Each structure stands twice: as structure tokens, then as C-alpha cells.
Amino acid sequence: MKATKYLSPGNTNAKTAKNSLKTFIMYLTPGTTNGVNLCPKASKGCLTACLYTAGYAGVYKSVNAARLAKTEQYLQDKPAFIRALSYEIMKQYNKAKKTGEQIAIRLNGTSDIDFVYLLQKYAGLDISTLAPVVYFYDYTKILQKAIRYQNHPNYTVTFSRSESNQAETETAIKLGINVAAVFSGELPQTYLGAPVIDGDKSDILMIYNKGAVLGLKAKGRAKKDTSGFVIQSN
């Protein structure tokens, strides 16, 4: 199976469907699903609770097969994959610019790769030139990645807390970087001194909030987590 389209419409995802901006997401296979770890900092709890197992996409074989096909193409010929991805991004950019819309793109739906760097390296695409038409955003467990892009004009990176990166989580909060954290029950008003907002209301709240904790409620296998990945909130 060969993938012919890399960006999926966000309205197929329960959370991104709530976004105020038309959203596109790229889904690859997470963690070590295909034998290669595309989430290098993923913890045991994260891999177990991965949103890959949540929602309809976690149970439909055809959806997972399409994600695997894209992943294999990325691994087999990275430059060609990135050039094709760049073409698709520009296609959506031109459509949005023509209609006067603003759109959002999340390149790491289920991976943790620096696509911003790769787009520049292999396709000569500087995504900052697409502002203010296109906003890019991602979650990452790589603190240096979040720091690197902290002041980027149209790419927002939120640091993702797990049971094994508490020290880095605290550093991110001190630096004013948004942090995503999963809670078992009702969301607290604050976490480590930072205000907690309901991250399940929209996937692009990170674009409009700085120095906040995006609180997410446990879903799928995360509801049974005992690793500490899910914060016990009641």
C-alpha cells in the first residue's frame, strides 16, 4: 500500500474537530509500532496510553494501514517524503490564501519528529513565510525542541508531561512553555503553579495561551494507567 495523501482533515478527530481554524494532521505510526521509534522520548506509560489506541482510528485496520504506509515511505526515502509533504502543505496554503482563511497544521499527530527542520533541509520550505495564513503546532517530549521553537512566529510546541520527565516538565513551566498533562478526573485549577485550561475543548488552545498547562482527561488505555503517566486528580 502506498500513501498518496499525508495530511488528514482535522474534522475526523474528536478534539481537532472543535478547532476554530480548519485543521490538518499528519498521522504516522507511534513509538515502535513499525519497528522504528518515531517518538524517541516516549515513556512506557506514554506508549501504553498513546492516543493511537483511542477513538475510532485505534480500532480500524484500514486507518492504521494507511499510517503504516506513510511511515514506511518516510523511512525508505526521507527527502522524497518531505518534498511531497511540502507540496501538500503549499497546496493547502494556496487554497486558504485564495479564500482569505487561516488554517492550522499539526505535523506530529502520533510522532515526535522535527519536520520544521526537515522541510527546510529537504524542500527549502521555511514555514515562517506561510504566516499568518498557516499556523503549525505540535506536542513534544523533547524539551530542547520546545525551547528551540519557543519564539517561532507560527509554530507552537507544547511540552508533553509523562511519568519519567517530571524535572523537564518543571523546567518547561518555569520557562513559560505550555505543558500538556493527563489527569484521571476533574482538572485542577493549577498545576505546579501554572493555570490549567481544558485542553480537550480544542487542539489549538496552545496557540492562544502561553505558560499554561493543557489539562487532558485520560482516554482509551490511559484510563487504566498505573505508571504515573496519568496524574491522579481526585
Each residue's pLDDT tens digit, 115-166: 999 999 999 999 999 999 999 999 999 999 999 999 999 999 999 999 999 9
**CA dihedral in degrees (164, 167, 169, 172; nearest 10)?**
-150
pLDDT over 90 at 29, yes or no: no
The alpha-helical segments, DSSP class H, found in 77-165 are 78-99, 115-123, 143-148
pLDDT tens-place string over residues 152-204: 999 999 999 999 999 999 999 999 999 999 999 899 999 999 999 999 999 89
pLDDT over 60 at 1, yes or no: no
Q: 199: helix, coil or strand?
A: coil
Buried b / exposed e over 95-123, threshold 16 CB at 10 Å, is ebeeeeeebbbbbbbbbbbbbbebbbebb
